[in-house]
Structure 1
Amino acid sequence: MIPRRTFLAGAAGLTAGAMAPFTAARAGTSRFTTAGDHFLLDGQPLQILAGELHYPRIARADWRDRLRKLKSLGLNTLSAYVFWNAHEKAPGRYDFTGNLDLSAWLTLAQEEGLHVLLRVGPYACAEWDGGALPAWVFADESVKARSLDTTYMDLSGRWLKRLGQEVAHLEIDKGGPVLVTQVENEYGSYGGDRAYMEAVRDQIRSAGFDGALYTVDGASVIEKGALPSLINGINFGTTDKAEEEFKRYAAFKPSGPRICTELWGGWFDHFGEVHSAMPAPPLLDSLKWMLDHQISVSFYMAHGGTSFGFDAGANFDRKTETYQPDISSYDYDALFDEAGRPTPKFSAVLEVMKRYLPAERFAPLPAPQKALEIPRFRLTETAAVTPLLGKPVVAPAPRTLESLGQSHGLMRYRHRFAKAAKGTLRIGEVRDYAVVSVNGRRVGVLDRRLNEREIALSARAGDSLEILIDTMGHVNYGERIGRDQKGLIGGVTLDGQPLQGWTHEGLPLDDLGGLAFQAGMGDGPAFHRGMFEVKEAGYTFLDMRGWGKGYAWVNGHNLGRHWSVGPQRTLFVPESFLKVGMNEVVVFDLHPVQAASLAGGHAQIWDLPGQVKE
């Protein structure tokens, strides 16, 4: 089929009389409407060509750079999730500052000439911790996620009202860039309660979002999740065929504008697996078919970025009953790599786009930032975890982190033996990684990924059993959403006898100010500190090979999780996290470290090489 550069002109005669019901959300005429099979903006056909970017996964100093890179592909729209748990880390305490300044993010997109698809959820998926649902919502384990559960709906409604105060004024009819706002997210893959979806829609309306609304689902489950009176998009990936997906969609909705709200050009990674790399040709085939048929499309991800800190999520494989935590890199084998550099896939997509769009649609790529090589240096100071331990909480049986008001980080569980004991220690479930010690002497580790729940030990009367739990991401997809409370689950026994009497000490790792560093090496778990010099502005990838499992901070910025099981071997450090001159790095490791040293390089290091070359 011949590329249709003249599509917009050819569709200009569509009349306002064919507008869909959603355009009547407010009195007067909306700028963004539909007519027949097309979206209209100010009465003229609009083909939405979008790219997905996530503001917390991009250092704020790089926001404009990444938005301009969407324009370099000829795209006209930003697709943007909102992450509830990033903004409300504790009940009623909201944060819209710094890297979480959502209003600034959307306003910047408008400054760069981009429309916005706003994905308010409140559930997001996105390989994000808990799918963006706060862990504290489920401190009471009876609360049911993504349902008409009264507690859940009250909390989500309160959140959406607060969100509306921040960004509802940025809808297009109010002078902002937001074309359309999403209700929930891929609900058809989770449930089928139409009343729930309508209730979420009503909460979004009550929060002040008056404009067009839409839903997003896989085509095979769209009947379960979509509200037909709204705009309905479908998601699919590289291994799917666009023509077949839209045939399924047509069985649900024969007419109206069509949009692929997520065209998955890559995939995400779990710890302990090889790096995902998806081929470009099938992706290009689907892209060309959609452009030939004037279908709107959004690239997921245009640029993935990094799940800094504790933001990475997890999957749970129902067939194998296997927990699968996501790595901190959200490279996604996307059009731009984790550092924002164009990949070969970008070049391939750009070549296709240029056959459909006029030359003036393509902005030049921004000037590249410099990748820094940092010579290997040693971390010469260590600190114990003890000063960061929270106030002890005593309970008969182990409690979850969420029930103790903690959503991430570490928890130390202690039990004192009243008499000598020997046998097999069994834990109902470890969530997610346990270092087991007796009187400070390490006995072994238990890994949830491997379904490890028991270990042999012996203790004398008066000995202290210590189980240090390191939490990974809360499950963000499937039936375990909201059911992934962390810690020691289901009780602890020794040779079948319950161990009663536990002390809990939390280490959320949000503030390292209490650490007392001193020269020398220390056994894990421990913090290690070093200094390195940067002589010019740029970014780097911190080489974590030789370390075990833990976290790393540069100048106070939590870069995310490192773990020797791979596939990610470095942690990305954005240019704005570094300063010309001396820089501080702190690494926490659960295990003893033989040689505490680091270096910085130009690229991510994968167990299976990706497609970005230095």
Structure 2
Amino acid sequence: MSKNLIQLLLLVSLALSSSCSAVKVEYDANGIIIDGQRKIMNVASIHYPRSTEQMWPDLIMKAKDGGIGAIETYIFWDVHEPRHRQYDFSGNLELHRVFQLVHEAGLYGIIRIGPYVDGITFSSISGVSQCGFHNTPGIELRTNNEIYKKEMETFTTKIVNKVKVAKLFAPQGGPIIVAQIENEYGNIVKGYGAAGKKYIEWCAKMAVAQNISVPPMINTCNGFYCDNFKPNNPKSLKMWTENWTYHGGTKLGCTSDGLYITTSYDYDAPLDEF
């Protein structure tokens, strides 16, 4: 075996070992800490079901070339569970493949499990109408309701286990550094009263119990209240930092929210719809 070939094999081995190494992810009041180093990064939102799987490598590399450090995406309940307890992770729903590509590109990943996700979703509450349990007697959505919480926990556990098996969480050597549960609950919490507060507390406990080994997050902020724009604490920047969508894409296959609702989620994203 030639000296040059040996050197090449050593370089490949080092590259593979570094890309698969476990990463410790922590956080404090000031932000996220990865392997003891505080990180501030630009994060891009790319929703994988809103594009084809053939588009993913190009979208991810263009995001990286644009200075992005992490890719985040919702997990859409309705497309992954089109019928109650019948799951689909094929084609452009291969979420594990998305994060594998993110990892291969040298980027971090953020998984937003929800399972309620907002964002002009594929159904008014992602998954509920498609799965068929929205008409279940006694069910109330996104509140302290045992029937709904059981369905939510079942789907969340399904996703978390799938990600664990694929070794996609950072401490497993994967790219995912943060996982989100629920979404934008601050818009509606007052309407639910005490039951809403109990529900969001349950969400937090349920997420922690999943033992995902990365920081769990709950996004409870309100959206589009720009007339009352100010930092929510003295350490926050007085600027808008959440122009989230890097590639909006399209709701394919007649999966729009309803009649006369656009299939586009462009949002003036840096990468056009197609």
**TM-score, length basis structure 2:** 0.80
Distance 2:202 2:93 in 1: 27
| Distance in 1 of aligned mates of 2:158 and 2:31 | 33
* Separation in structure 2 between the aligned mates of residue 147 and residue 77 of structure 1, nearest angstrom: 31
Query: If each structure's helix is expressed as a fraction of its own residues, which one has the higher value?
Result: 2
Q: Using the alignment, how far apart are the partners of 2:139 and 2:31 within structure 1?
A: 41
Match of 1:211 among 210, 214, 235: 214
The match for 1:156 among 152, 157, 166 is 152
Give the secondary structure class of the aligned counterpart of 2:26: strand
1:299 aligns with 2:243: yes
Describe how 1:98-497 pairs up with structure 2 within 5 A: 98-128=91-121, 129-135=123-129, 136-140=132-136, 142-168=138-164, 169-192=167-190, 193-218=196-221, 221=222, 236=224, 240=226, 245-247=229-231, 249-250=232-233, 289=239, 297-313=241-257, 325-339=260-274
AA matched with 2:25: F
Q: What CA deviation, in whole Å up to 9, does each residue of 1:44-76 have, x standing for no partner? A: 221121110100001000001111111122010
For 2:41 and 2:230, the matched residues in 1 are separated by: 16
Give 1 or 2: higher strand fraction.
Answer: 1
Q: Which amino acid aligns with 2:146?
A: T
Alignment partner, residue 463 of structure 1: none
Write the deviation string for residues 382-426 of structure 1: whole angstroms up to 9, x where unpaired: xxxxxxxxxxxxxxxxxxxxxxxxxxxxxxxxxxxxxxxxxxxxx
What is the Cα deviation at residue 163 of structure 1? 0.9
State the Cα distance separating 1:142 from its structure 2 match: 4.0
Taking the aligned partners of 2:168 and 2:119, their CA distance within structure 1 comes to 23
Structure 1 runs not aligned, ≥5 long: 1-28, 222-234, 260-285, 291-296, 315-323, 340-614
Opposite residue 188 of structure 1, the aligned amino acid is: G
Contact kept, 8 Å, 1:143 with 1:149, in 2: the verdict is yes
C-alpha separation in 2, matches of 1:78 and 1:311 = 23
Q: Distance in 2 between matches of 1:107 and 1:201?
A: 27
Change (3 A) 1:329 1:98: same
Determine the C-alpha separation between the residues in 1 that align with 2:89 and 2:160. 12
CA RMSD of superposed structures (Å): 2.5
Q: Which has the higher contact order (CA 8 A, sep 6+)?
A: 2
Q: Which amino acid aligns with 1:312?
A: S
Q: Which ranges of structure 2 fall in alignment gaps of 5 or more residues?
A: 1-21, 191-195
Change (3 A) 1:299 1:122: same
Contact 1:31 1:42 in 2 (8 A): yes
**Partner residue of 2:47?**
54
In 2, the alpha carbon distance for the partners of 1:208 and 1:87 equals 22
Change (3 A) 1:183 1:85: same
CA displacement at 1:308 relative to structure 2 = 0.8
Q: Point out the structure with max Rg over C-alpha.
A: 1
Structure 1 residue aligned with 2:73: 80
Distance in 2 separating the partners of 1:203 and 1:98: 30
* Aligned amino acid, residue 127 of structure 1: I
Output the CA distance in 2 between the equivalents of 1:36 and 1:185. 20
- C-alpha displacement at 1:299, in angstroms? 3.5
Change over 3 Å in CA distance of 1:60–1:116 after alignment to 2 = same
Secondary structure of the 1:40 match is strand
In structure 1, the partner of 2:86 is 93
Query: What is the deviation of 1:302?
Result: 0.8
Percentage identity across paired residues of the two chains = 26
Distance in 2 (CA, whole Å) between partners of 1:236 and 1:179 is 27
Asked if 2 retains the 8 angstrom alpha-carbon contact of 1:51 and 1:77, the reply is yes
* Aligned residue identity for 2:266: D
SS of 1:131's partner is: coil
* Residues 138 and 147, structure 2, Cα contact 8 Å, conserved in 1: no
Work out the CA distance in 2 between the residues paired with 1:127 and 1:140. 24
1:609 matched residue in structure 2:
none
Amino acid at match of 2:126: A
**Match for residue 32 of structure 1 among 25, 28, 53:** 25
Q: Which residue of 2 aligns with 1:44?
A: 37
| Structure 1 range deviating more: 48-57 or 324-333 | 324-333
3-state DSSP class of the match of 2:124? helix
* Counterpart code for 1:112: A
Q: Give, in angstroms, the shift of residue 216 of structure 1.
A: 1.5
* Shift of residue 36, structure 1, vs aligned partner: 5.3
1:52 and 1:299 in contact (8 A); partners too: no
The two structures have a TM-score, normalised by structure 1, of 0.37
Equivalent pair of 2:45/2:245 in contact (CA under 8 Å): yes
- When residues 57 and 336 of structure 1 are mapped into structure 2, their CA distance, relative to the original with a 3 A threshold, is same
Match of 1:4 in 2: none
Deviation, structure 1 residue 210:
3.0
Measured after TM superposition, the shift of residue 141 of structure 1 is 6.0
What's the CA shift string for 1:400-458, capped at 9, x where partnerless?
xxxxxxxxxxxxxxxxxxxxxxxxxxxxxxxxxxxxxxxxxxxxxxxxxxxxxxxxxxx
User: In the aligned structure 1, how far is the partner of 2:81 from the partner of 2:205?
Assistant: 21
Offset at residue 325 of structure 1 (A): 4.5
Describe the shift of the 1:214–1:56 C-alpha distance in structure 2 as closer, same or farther (beyond 3 A): same
Contact 1:124–1:184 under 8 Å retained in 2: yes
Distance change (3 Å), C-alpha of 1:246 and 1:32: farther
Alignment map for 1:524-535 (pairs within 5 Å) = none
